[in-house]
Amino acid sequence: MAIIANAEVRSLTEPWSGEINTGKHQLLTDKPESFGGQDKGLAPYDLICSALISCTMITLRMYASHKGIELGEFSVESDFNANREGKEWIERRLSFAQPLSDELKQKVLEISSKTPVTKTLSRSLEIHTVLV
């Protein structure tokens, strides 16, 4: 077994605020003001969405580089959703500055469904991905 990531959070004075340290990087976590926080950093579900879209972007760029494909500039967005019945899912949207062929669109969707973070999250919730 190998550790693939490590992070530590230390509580700050303000309620719900913390400083996350991972490797050489630091960032703040907090809750929005509507939940009694100061909104000084990413909330936990923001971090989940950020992990998913970061992994999607990196994986697609690695795939394109390996295959000699030019994807151009693109963005990835995600929303974490929950309903009253307790079902949770993530909507992920990919948007490309340049048009993609139908074949490449299918490949992008296929690769997105196989990113490491997607696989981890999919073991416990559904992730729906669309091109916009």
For 39-54, what is each residue's pLDDT tens digit? 999 999 999 999 999 9
Q: Could you give the CA distance from residue 1 to residue 120 in angstroms, rounded to a whole number?
A: 16
pLDDT of 50 reads: 97
pLDDT of 74 reads: 98
Query: Roughly how many angstroms between the first and final C-alpha of the chain, as a whole number?
Result: 38
Q: What is the β-pairing status of strands 126-131 and 88-96?
A: parallel
pLDDT of 126 reads: 85
* Spatial contact of 109 and 131, defined as CB atoms under 8 Å apart: yes
pLDDT of 127 reads: 86
pTM of the model: 0.91
Q: Could you give the CA distance from residue 113 to residue 12 in angstroms, rounded to a whole number?
A: 37
Rg of the chain (C-alpha set): 17
- Scan for tokens 């494909």, then name that residue: 69
pLDDT of 125 reads: 78
pLDDT of 57 reads: 98
The shares of helix, strand and coil residues in the chain, as percent rounded to the nearest 5, are 35, 30, 35
Q: Could you give the CA distance from residue 125 to residue 48 in angstroms, rounded to a whole number?
A: 12
Residue ranges of the chain whose pLDDT lies below 70: none
